[in-house]
Structure 1
Amino acid sequence: MTERMRVRHRPEDVFELVSDVRRYPKFIKYLSALRVKDEENFGDVTRLVAEAVARYRFVSEKFTTAVTSDPTARTVEVDLIEGPFNTLRNGWRFEELDDGSTLLSFEIEFEFSNPLLQMLLSANKEKAVHFLIDAFCAEADRRYETVGAAEYDGSDDIVTQRVAK
């Protein structure tokens, strides 16, 4: 699943927010805990191994991911190491639009190893992805200055222009 949207914050700010995994439990409702188990730097690129606990209603699951943040490319990639998934991979890309705002691209692929969990989330996959993106956008609104032209709010024109380039 891929989502693209305009975010009225600078790409550097949105990248910083998504890269700051240690603070996720403060603004992602169903993420009850997260700890960084390992951190390596390769020049500007940072690779973290993070263990998280997600809770939703009667279900609590622990999983471990590798999170690679590249500020030059403005990308954050997340890959499953261990957990209740057959597959978990997501990627974030932050491109600067002409008005200084961000074209946010988010791709996610996941499949639970538990058929019941897979069935429950598959039925609500789009809603779950929007919930996650909305949590990041709300936190960006709280932390960062708004940039970009208000006339593009609610319009796909500026995003379409950028994607077409």
Structure 2
Amino acid sequence: MPSFSSSHKVNHNAEDMFRLVADVEQYPQFVPLCQNLHVRGRKDLGDGRTVLIADMTVAYKVFKETFTSRVELRPADKVILVEYLDGPFRHLENRWTFEDAGEDICIVGFYIDYEFKSRTLGSLMGAMFDRAFRKFSSAFEARANQVYGA
């Protein structure tokens, strides 16, 4: 199964970066390949955690696929967990972590592990997904600079 992980230091605090990544409705504005994102539902779990069910449409040239995920926001732990529910994947797991590393500096960790249901779709879109995931860190850092200032 393809997977990708990165750890990236940014000049913003962990709380701000968590909020930025948790604001999934804004993804179509800056996330590579994200054409649309619709939150179907949101539930407060009562202990500071929130769960979202979201449909994300990714598009590249003639390819367009929508998948549904369960997104768990854990602000106290500064962790975001994404669990695949439905769509073109056999499996998708995504995890974001945010660790303070000084005044207005944090380490953003990104991990994704996925497998397409169709080998054909996997071979056609796999390389494109890999390139997009490698651009995620810089896309979120650029967005943070735009929202919170450089």
| Cα pair distance change 1:124/1:59, threshold 3 Å | closer
Gaps of 5+ in 2: none
RMSD: 1.5
Q: Return the offset for 1:141.
A: 1.0
Tell me, in whole angstroms, the C-alpha distance in 1 between the residues paired with 2:53 and 2:129.
25
Tell me, in whole angstroms, the C-alpha distance in 1 between the residues paired with 2:104 and 2:112.
26
Say which is worse superposed, 123-132 or 96-105, in terms of deviation: 123-132
Partner of 2:6: 3
The DSSP-based 3-state class of the residue aligned with 1:91 is: strand
**Structure 2 letter corresponding to 1:23:** Q
Say which is worse superposed, 121-130 or 60-69, in terms of deviation: 121-130
Q: Is the 8 A contact 1:88 1:108 kept in 2?
A: yes
Residue 97 (structure 2) pairs with residue 132 (structure 1) = no
Larger radius of gyration: 1
**Structure 1 letter corresponding to 2:66:** K
Structure 1 residues 36-81: Cα deviation after superposition (integer angstroms, max 9, x where no partner): 1111011210100001111111111010000101110000011101
**Structure 1 letter corresponding to 2:80:** V
The alignment-based identity, stated in percent, is 31
Q: Return the offset for 1:99.
A: 3.6
Partner of 2:84: 80
| Cα pair distance change 1:80/1:3, threshold 3 Å | same
TM-score, normalization by structure 2: 0.90
Shift >3 Å, 4+ stretches:
120-126
The DSSP-based 3-state class of the residue aligned with 1:116 is: helix
Equivalent residue for 1:24, pick from 23, 27, 40: 27
**Structure 2 letter corresponding to 1:32:** Q
Tell me, in whole angstroms, the C-alpha distance in 2 between the residues paired with 1:59 and 1:122.
12
Partner of 1:66: 70
Gaps of 5+ in 1: 147-165
